[in-house]
Chains A and B, each alone.
Chain A
Amino acid sequence: MGAERKQYSYRLSLGERLRQRTGGPIRRLLRHRLATVGTLLVLAAIVCALAAPLLAPYDPLEQDLRFRLKPPLWRAPEGEKFLLGTDQFGRDVLSRIIFGSRVSLAVGTASVLLGGSLGLFLGLCAGFFGGWIDDVIMRLADVQLSFPFLILALCIIAILGSGLINLIIVLSLYGWVVYARLIRASVLSIKEIEYVQAARAIGQSTAKILVKHILPNVIAPFFVISSFQVARIIIIEASLGFLGLGVPPPTPTWGNMLSDGREYLQEAWWIGTFPGLAIAVVVLGINLLGDGLRDALDPKTYLKS
C-alpha cells in the first residue's frame, strides 16, 4: 500500500520523504565519484599498456613447460612465483594480460580515430554537397547496417587475413556511421541558417563559416560517442581474437587467452577468468568515464540525473 500512495498522495512517511530529498543529490555525487573511478581505471590501463615491459614480471612469450598449467600464487621450488598462474605453455598469465592491454588499447584508439575521421569526412561531404553524394553515402550506411557487424568483420578478415593492421582497418568501419550522421545533421542545420547570408558571402568564406560553426557544436558529442565506441571495439576485438581471427599467436591478446581458457576450463580455470576480468574492468572504466563526460558536457542530463 505504501508504494501505491507514494506519488500522488500528500501523506508520505518520514522515510520516504527523506529518501526522495536525498536520493537525487546522492545519485549525482555518486556519479561524480564513479566517473573518477572510471578515469582511474582507464589511466591504469593506459599505464599498463605503455609501461608493459616494466610492469610485467615475466616475458609474455617465454615458455617453460616445467611450469605449465600452474594455479595462481603457485611457487616454484626455484623461487619463481606466478601471481595469476600459467597457461598451457608455462607462460605467466599476469604478464600476458599486461601485454595484452597493448593490443586492446591500440586497436581501440586507432580504430576509433580512423573511424571518426572517416565518418567526419563522409558526413561533411554528405551534408555539404548534398544531392546524389548525400544519397550514396547514406545508402552505404544503410547497407552496412543491414549486416550484423561481426559477420561483416568476419568476412573481411577472411579476405584480408588476420593481423594487427587488418584488424584496425576492419574495426574502423564499426562506428563511422554514427559520426557521419552527427556531422551531417550539424551541417544541414547550419546550412539552413547560413543560406541567406551565403547568398551575399563569397564561396570560400561559406566553407570557413561552416567549419567555424560546426566544430564547437560537434566536439562534445564526438568525445562522448568516441568513449563508448572504444569500449565496444575492445569487446569486438576480443571477440575476434577469441574466434581465432584477431592478432595471431603468439602475441598475447585478451581474446586469444580467453580462447585458450575455454579449452582448458576444466583443468586450469585461471587462464580464462583473469583476461576476461581485465576486459570487463577496462570496459567498465571507459563506460563510467563516458557517462561522466556526457553528464559534464550536457547540463540538462546532469540536472535530470
Chain B
Amino acid sequence: MKAYLLKRLAHGLLAILGVLVVVFLLVRLTPGDPALLMLPDLAPADAVQAMRHQLGLDRSILFQFLIFVKSVLSGNLGESIFYRRDVLGLVVQALPVTVTLTFGSMIIALLVAIPTGVISATRQYSTYDNLTMIGVLLGQSVPTFWLGIMLILFFAVLWPILPTSGPGGWTHYVLPCLSLSTYMLALITRLTRSGMLEILNEDYVRTARAKGVTEKVVISKHALSNTMVQIVTVLGLQIGTLMGGAIITEKVFALPGVGTLIIQAIELRDYPVVQGSVLMTAGLFVLINFLVDVLYTYIDPRISFASPGSR
C-alpha cells in the first residue's frame, strides 16, 4: 500500500514540477520583455526596473525559475494588470463557480450513467439497451457548448423556466451542469455497460450464483463493485476533460468562474492572471488525480500488494 501511494505521490510531484516548468516557459516564450508583460502598459521606468529585479531577469534562467517556484510556493502569484489585485485572490474568488460546475456535472453523470449502464447490460439487446446505445453515441458526438446553447434556447428563451445566464442560485447551474455532464454521461454509461457484460461472465460471478446469492445482489454487489474499479481508473482523466469543458460552458452561460477569468485575461494580455490561473487549475487537477489514486487503493485490494505498474 505504502509503496504504491509513495509512487503515485512522486508521480504527482513530478507532474506539478512539469506544470511549473510549462507555465514558467509560457511567459518566457511570449514575444516581448517578460517584465513589461507583467506590468500595465504605461508603467514608469522604475517600476519596470523593480519588476526586472523581482523576476531575476538579470540572472540566469535557472535562477529565474527558482525565484518563480519560490514565489508560487509562498502564495504570491503576482498582481493582475487589469484588476490591480493579487492574482491568488482573483482565482480563489472564481474557483467556487468552476468547482460547482465541474463536480455538479460529474455527480449528475455518475448518478445517471451507472444505473443506466447496469440496466443496459442486464437487458442486452432489449429496446432499452438499443435506445441507451443510441444515446451514448449521440452524447459522444454532440459538442457540449452547442448543447448548452440549445438548452438555453429551449428552456430559457422559448420556454422561459430557467435563467439564460449569469451567476446566481442553484437554478443558474441546472442547464450548465446538464450540458457539461453529457459527454461524461455517455462515456461512463458505455464503460459501465461493457464492464458489466464482461464481468457477468467471469468465474467468480458464477461462484456467487452457485452459492445461492440473489441475482439482484450478484449484479449490485459482486459484479458492479468490480466494474466500479474499472470506472475509477478513468475518473481522473475525465475530471480533466470536465474542467476543460467547464471553461467553455462558463462562456456559454456567462458564469464568473476560472475559465472566464482565463479567457478574459488572454484577450486583455493580463499575463499574471493567465499564469496564475493556469497554475492553480493544473495544480488542482494533479491533486484530484492523486486523490483518485488514493481512492483506488481502497477499492482494489490487489493494488496494495501488486507491483506498482502504470495503470
Answer whether A and B touch in the complex at a CB cut-off of 8 Å.
yes
8 Å CB contact of B141 from A7, A149, A245, A283: A283
B96 at the interface (CB under 8 A from A): no
The 16 listed contacts between A and B (C-beta, < 8 Å) are A19-B126, A23-B125, A139-B14, A146-B282, A147-B240, A149-B244, A151-B247, A159-B30, A235-B143, A243-B248, A243-B263, A261-B149, A273-B149, A276-B150, A279-B146, A283-B143
8 Å CB contact of B145 from A231, A244, A258: A258
Complex CA distance for A149 and B143, rounded to whole angstroms: 16
Contact check, B142 vs A280: say whether CB atoms are below 8 A apart: yes
A130 at the interface (CB under 8 A from B): no
Binding site for A on B (CB under 8 A): 11, 14-16, 18-19, 21-23, 26, 29-30, 122-126, 130, 137-138, 140-143, 145-147, 149-150, 152-153, 157, 164, 209, 215-216, 237, 240-241, 243-245, 247-248, 251-252, 262-263, 266-267, 274, 278, 281-282, 285-286, 289
Complex CA distance for A157 and B26, rounded to whole angstroms: 10
A148: B residues at CB distance < 8 A: 240-241, 243-244, 281-282, 285
Cβ of B103 to closest chain A Cβ, rounded Å: 14
8 Å CB contact of B15 from A143, A258, A273: A143
Q: How many residues of A contact B (CB 8 A)?
A: 51
Contact check, A146 vs B285: say whether CB atoms are below 8 A apart: yes
Residue of A whose beta carbon sits closest to that of B214 = A4
| Binding stretch for chain B, among A80-88, A194-202, A264-272 | A264-272
A26 at the interface (CB under 8 A from B): yes
A139, A152, A155: which has the most chain B beta carbons within 10 Å? A155
Complex CA distance for A279 and B21, rounded to whole angstroms: 35
A10 at the interface (CB under 8 A from B): no
Complex CA distance for A255 and B133, rounded to whole angstroms: 27
Mark A1-31 against chain B: 1 for CB-CB distance below 8 A, else 0: 0011001100000000001100110110000
Complex CA distance for A265 and B153, rounded to whole angstroms: 7
A239: B residues at CB distance < 8 A: 143, 145, 248
Complex CA distance for A62 and B243, rounded to whole angstroms: 38
B122: A residues at CB distance < 8 A: 7
A8: B residues at CB distance < 8 A: 209, 215
Contact check, A262 vs B141: say whether CB atoms are below 8 A apart: no
16 further interface pairs, Cβ-Cβ under 8 Å (given A279-B146, A283-B143): A143-B21, A147-B22, A149-B241, A150-B243, A150-B247, A152-B22, A158-B266, A158-B274, A159-B26, A239-B248, A243-B248, A243-B251, A277-B146, A279-B143, A283-B141, A284-B141
Contact check, A151 vs B262: say whether CB atoms are below 8 A apart: yes
A164 at the interface (CB under 8 A from B): no
8 Å CB contact of B157 from A147, A150, A269, A277: A269
Complex CA distance for A265 and B145, rounded to whole angstroms: 13
B244: A residues at CB distance < 8 A: 148-151
Cβ of B119 to closest chain A Cβ, rounded Å: 10
Interface of B is mostly: helix
Complex CA distance for A148 and B289, rounded to whole angstroms: 11
8 Å CB contact of A159 from B29, B164, B285, B289: B29
Contact check, A147 vs B247: say whether CB atoms are below 8 A apart: no
Residue of B whose beta carbon sits closest to that of A5 = B215
A151: B residues at CB distance < 8 A: 243-244, 247, 262, 278, 281-282
Cβ of A144 to closest chain B Cβ, rounded Å: 8
A64 at the interface (CB under 8 A from B): no
8 Å CB contact of B26 from A155, A283, A288: A155
Binding site for B on A (CB under 8 A): 3-4, 7-8, 19-20, 23-24, 26-27, 139, 142-143, 145-152, 154-155, 157-159, 231, 235, 238-239, 242-245, 258, 261-262, 265-266, 269, 272-273, 275-277, 279-280, 283-284, 287-288
Q: A154-B266, A276-B150 are in contact. Are A4 and B252 (CB under 8 A)?
A: no
Closest A-B pairs by Cβ, 7 of them: A23-B125, A276-B146, A150-B244, A143-B18, A146-B15, A148-B240, A284-B141
Cβ of A116 to closest chain B Cβ, rounded Å: 20
Cβ of B9 to closest chain A Cβ, rounded Å: 14
Contact check, A287 vs B137: say whether CB atoms are below 8 A apart: yes
Complex CA distance for A258 and B15, rounded to whole angstroms: 35
A275: B residues at CB distance < 8 A: 146
Contact check, B278 vs A142: say whether CB atoms are below 8 A apart: no
8 Å CB contact of B137 from A20, A235, A284: A284
Complex CA distance for A146 and B293, rounded to whole angstroms: 14
Contact check, A146 vs B19: say whether CB atoms are below 8 A apart: yes
Cβ of A181 to closest chain B Cβ, rounded Å: 9
A231: B residues at CB distance < 8 A: 141
B150: A residues at CB distance < 8 A: 273, 276
Complex CA distance for A265 and B165, rounded to whole angstroms: 12
8 Å CB contact of B266 from A245, A265, A269, A284: A245
Complex CA distance for A145 and B142, rounded to whole angstroms: 24
A245: B residues at CB distance < 8 A: 266
Residue of B whose beta carbon sits closest to that of A232 = B140
